[in-house]
Amino acid sequence: MDKKTKVVIAGGGTSGWLTASALAMQMGDVYDITLVESSAVGSVGVGEATIPPMKSFHKFLNINEREFMQATQATFKLGIEFENWKQVGEKYFHSFGETGKNTMITEFLHFWMRGKELGVAKEFGDYCLEFKAALANKIGDLQQVTLNHAYHLDASLYAKYLKNIACKNGVKHYDGLISRVHQNYSNGYISSLELASGQIIEGDFFVDCTGFKALLIEKTLHSGFEDWSHWLPCDRAIAVQTALSEDIPPYTRSIAHQAGWQWKIPLQHRAGNGLVYSSRYMSDEQAKTSLLANISGDPLTDLKVIKFNTGRRRNTWVKNCLAIGLSAGFLEPLESTSIHLIMTAITRLLQLGNMGDIPQCVIDEYNQQASTEMEQIRDFIILHYKQTERQDSPFWRYCKNMEIPDKLAHRMSLFKSIGKSYQTEGELFRLDSWTQVMLGQGLEPEKYHPIAKTFNNGQLTQFLATLELDVSNQVSIMPNHQSFIKSYCKH
């Protein structure tokens, strides 16, 4: 039998244990996998909201939904409610569902715009099952009604759950602080990790899951960092957990404030809260005061300040080291993409293959795909800040007037001119997502597609009414979200 490739994962948390569990389950016969983490070093551990592709990755790992939700105190998520983003006092919803029905030629949006013009259309969200279910605090029973859902979860419990899967599949685990990274003098490849105890962990391939420290990819291999803070100026977050004080809604709340935004994430046993802000426009003390004044439920933890820079490593794969998770780069959690980026990084690694003898073309392809993915998500997040009517604070005036990437400017111009949005190949956020956020932030198309006029008034009225009634009927038979959680996956 061929000698196994030694894969060493530096760092635990969600990124480390997700990587370990996936590699062990899929490639355990050819990879000898070791994970090194220090119990003395805490993880960020606040990535508690997710997006629907997680379900596919869990299926890939043979994870049972009910078991996972019980273990992580999870609840369902159907989207995000954005408050005060377009203007103070206004809100909109980015749902995970499809709104209306598209045609081969154009999207439902254009028929809806024609219906608005004729006075026969309801609100855009009334034609989306996930949106209506979320606002009614309902969830499909997973048998009668299919909803495109994600989860709210306890990140620390999730890491423990994944650790159990990984170790059952043969991953070796060492608890120790990495004191030194050794490199091969001839080619600069990483050869081993030295722990504070003096133990040496040798490997052929190394995965950097050391978080913002980026101990391997940056401090050892000097990948370089591309800073995006001029487009995404928030650089701080304060997190606190609180006791539940109200019903558990199946969605995340994102509430904009004078220098950023606040999140509210409901779990089974508590709520996750946090304030994301720009230190240029708000001090840490102001942020703490603002957060504590706008939470419901008694605090269960001390306030935790997290400093970050938005951007990415210039190369997430250098020599025989790949960065996954926060060590690869950071996008603020506005659209809950952090765990997804870990999963796609792992998938990309598995698809591109060999971690032993590594051709440079494989490294280049990986880096190109990773770069494109991050930039596409970055542009979607920038959209929330740029497309605003708020001018009530220096932060929002900066965001409204800042220069943005050319590709995003083109997308916004295309939507404003003819109501056209699109999803490029491999892009995370669907056409529906772009449409909901652009409309919600106040970007109104100047015209609709002429095919919408091929429906006469009666046909269009009937078409819209049938869609809306179908959504209403499905929502009416759904159970209450909190009640369903108790029967389905109560911890």
Residues with catalytic roles = 77
Phi first, then psi: what are they for 259, rounded to 5°? -140, 30
Residue among 302, 326, 301 at smallest CA distance from 313? 326
CA–CA distances in Å: residue 166 to residues 21, 25, 26, 366: 4, 8, 11, 24
Rounded distance between C-alpha atoms, residue 399 and residue 223, angstroms = 29
Residue among 17, 4, 13, 15 at smallest CA distance from 316? 15
Residues 257 and 290 sit within 8 Å (Cβ to Cβ): yes
- The conformation of residue 138, written as its DSSP 8-state character, comes to B
Secondary structure element (H or E) that encloses residue 346, with its range: helix 338-352
Rounded distance between C-alpha atoms, residue 465 and residue 483, angstroms = 30
Q: β-pairing, 150-152 with 75-77?
A: antiparallel
Residue among 243, 235, 285, 241 at smallest CA distance from 260? 235
Sheet strands side by side (includes 5-10):
172-175, 31-37, 5-10, 205-208, 321-323, 317-318
Which residue is listed with tokens 């355990």?
28
> Which residues are CB-neighbours of 172 under 8 A, at least 6 positions away?
32, 33, 34, 35
Which pair of structure tokens corresponds to residue 335?
A: 């659209």
